[in-house]
Amino acid sequence: MLKYINLRETPELKETAADWFHNKWGIPKEAYLECMDNYLSGKTELGWYLCLDNDRIVGGMGVIENDFHDRKDLSPNVCAVYTEEAYRKQGIAGKLLSMTVDDLRSKGISPVYLVTDHTGFYERYGWEFLCMVQGDGEPDMSRMYIHK
């Protein structure tokens, strides 16, 4: 059975989660650990959200100030959205997105932004295309979405 949590509910998963996100996105594990430590210590309310199948992470996402793009004014950003291939098309990302937006809204944080190359996916979950942004070191522009 799938279980949806934020990292504060299970801080013992921090190392495992940092490894999991690093393996999916190639961002240094230390960058994830720093963000997770800030969340777990209460320095920020920008959190980390996971879907577990028993004790295995099968989906996840985080929230950071800026997801490596030139529009620093569009903050915070959902980042590192990923669902394991075998678990796709089951609504996991949608549930995590809703959980994330609801959690942030309950803390007075709204709107929320995200950068993606997908079209048609995030709209299903209440996100709206906002503008194109330039990713750090990226040759092509990326799509910026907003959830109000």
Domain at 35, CATH number: 3.40.630.30
In a domain, 76, yes or no: yes
Instruction: Give domain status of residue 8, yes or no.
Output: yes
Residues recorded for the chain? 148
- Structurally, the chain folds into a number of domains equal to 1
- DSSP annotation of 28: -
| Averaged pLDDT for residues 75-104 | 97
Say what the pTM is.
0.93
User: CA-CA distances (angstroms) from residue 96 to 48, 62, 71, 82, 104?
Assistant: 10, 10, 24, 10, 12
- Residue 82's pLDDT is 97
Cα–Cα distances in Å, from 110 out to 4, 26, 55, 102? 21, 28, 31, 9
Q: How confident is the model at residue 67 (pLDDT cuts 50, 70, 90)?
A: confident
pLDDT at res. 137: 86
Does residue 85 fall inside a structural domain?
A: yes
What is the distance between the alpha carbons of residues 105 and 123, in angstroms, rounded to a whole number? 19
132 inside domain: no
| Domain assignment present for 14 | yes
What is the per-residue pLDDT for 135? 87
- Establish if 140 belongs to a structural domain: no
Boundaries of domain holding 43: 2-109
When computed from its CA atoms, the radius of gyration of the chain, rounded to whole angstroms, is: 14
For the ranges 19-23, 99-103, 104-108, 137-141, which has the lowest average pLDDT? 137-141
In this model, does residue 46 exceed pLDDT 90?
yes
Tell me the pLDDT of the chain averaged across its residues.
95
- pLDDT of 114 strictly over 90: yes
β partners of residue 61: 49
Give the pLDDT of residue 138.
85
Per-residue pLDDT at 68: 87
Q: How high is the pLDDT of residue 101?
A: 97
- What residues contact 101, with CB distance under 8 A and at least 6 apart? 110, 112, 126, 147
Residue 99 lies in a domain: yes
